[in-house]
Chain A
Amino acid sequence: DTGVSQDPRHKITKRGQNVTFRCDPISEHNRLYWYRQTLGQGPEFLTYFQNEAQLEKSRLLSDRFSAERPKGSFSTLEIQRTEQGDSAMYLCASSLVAGGLWEQFFGPGTRLTVL
C-alpha cells in the first residue's frame, strides 16, 4: 500500500498527558499537511511542511502543539498537556507540488480521546 499512513489509529489519554502521532506520506510527495476534524465539521488546517521546512502554522495550533518533519519524509505531531478540547480526529495529507498537481491525499487519521 503506497498511500498515506498514520499511527496510531486511536489514542485514549488522560488530561495532562503528552501524545505524539506519526504520519508517513506518499514517498515522492514534498508537501505534508496536518488537519484536525471535530464531529459534524470539515477538517481544519493546522500546519504544513514543504520538505523539512514548516512553512505555516494556523492560529488553531496553540503552543502546546508542535510538529516536525526532520528529514522531509515522515512527520510527527505532538500535543503536550492534553485538554479535553483536543479530542478530535487528526488527519495528515500529502501532495506533490509539480506540474499543476494540487490534490492532497489523506491518511486514515488518528482519533484522539482525552478523558
Chain B
Amino acid sequence: DQQVKQNSPSLSVQEGRISILNCDYTNSMFDYFLWYKKYPAEGPTFLISISSIKDKNEDGRFTVFLNKSAKHLSLHIVPSQPGDSAVYFCAASRVQYGNKLVFGAGTILRVKS
C-alpha cells in the first residue's frame, strides 16, 4: 500500500508566482516529513523538513505546512524561479524506528519564464 501519495504528477507555474505542491499520507505514526528536489541523473537534494509537533516551517522561499488531522502537507515556493523546475518528492518517517524514509512518487514542477 502506498503510505505517501503525491496525486499531481505535474504542475506548471509562471515565473514569480507561487508553486504549491501537495502530499497526503495514511500512516498517522509518521512524525517527520521532508521535501526533496531532484534533477535528472542526480540524487535527491534536501529542501526543508518539519516535525509533527509543528504546523509550519519556513526557509527562505520555501515553506512547508503540515495538517495532521487531514494527514496532508504542502510545499509553497514563493516566488517561483525557472531554476526550481525539477521533480519534487515528499517523504515521511518515524524517527525512533530507524527514520527510514517513505517517499511519494514525485511531482514534476515546471516554472515558465
Question: Hey, which bits of chain A sit against chain B, CB under 8 A?
Answer: 4, 6, 31, 33, 35, 40-45, 48, 55-56, 91, 93, 95, 97, 100, 102-109, 111
Task: Tell me whether A56 and B100 are in contact in the complex, defined as CB-CB below 8 angstroms, given that A91-B43, A102-B32, A103-B34 are known contacts.
Answer: yes
Task: Tell me whether A104 and B102 are in contact in the complex, defined as CB-CB below 8 angstroms, given that A42-B91, A109-B42 are known contacts.
Answer: no
Given contacts A42-B4, A95-B99, A108-B42, 13 further A-B contacts (CB under 8 A): A40-B106, A42-B104, A43-B89, A43-B103, A91-B44, A97-B99, A102-B32, A102-B93, A104-B34, A104-B46, A106-B36, A106-B45, A108-B41
Cα separation A22 to B49 with both chains bound (whole Å): 28
1/0 per residue B35-74: CB within 8 Å of A?
A: 0100001111110010100000000000000000000000
1/0 per residue B84-113: CB within 8 Å of A?
A: 000001010101001111111110000000
Q: How far is the CB of B112 from chain A (nearest CB, A)?
A: 23
Q: Is the CB of A45 within 8 A of B101?
A: yes
Cα separation A31 to B95 with both chains bound (whole Å): 12
Contacts of B91 in A (CB 8 A): 42
Among residues of A, the one whose C-beta sits closest to the C-beta of B4 is A42
Cα separation A107 to B46 with both chains bound (whole Å): 11
A-B contact pairs, 25 of them (CB 8 A): A33-B100, A33-B101, A40-B106, A41-B103, A41-B106, A43-B44, A43-B89, A48-B98, A48-B100, A55-B98, A91-B44, A93-B43, A95-B99, A102-B32, A102-B49, A102-B93, A103-B49, A104-B34, A104-B101, A105-B46, A106-B45, A107-B43, A109-B42, A109-B43, A111-B41
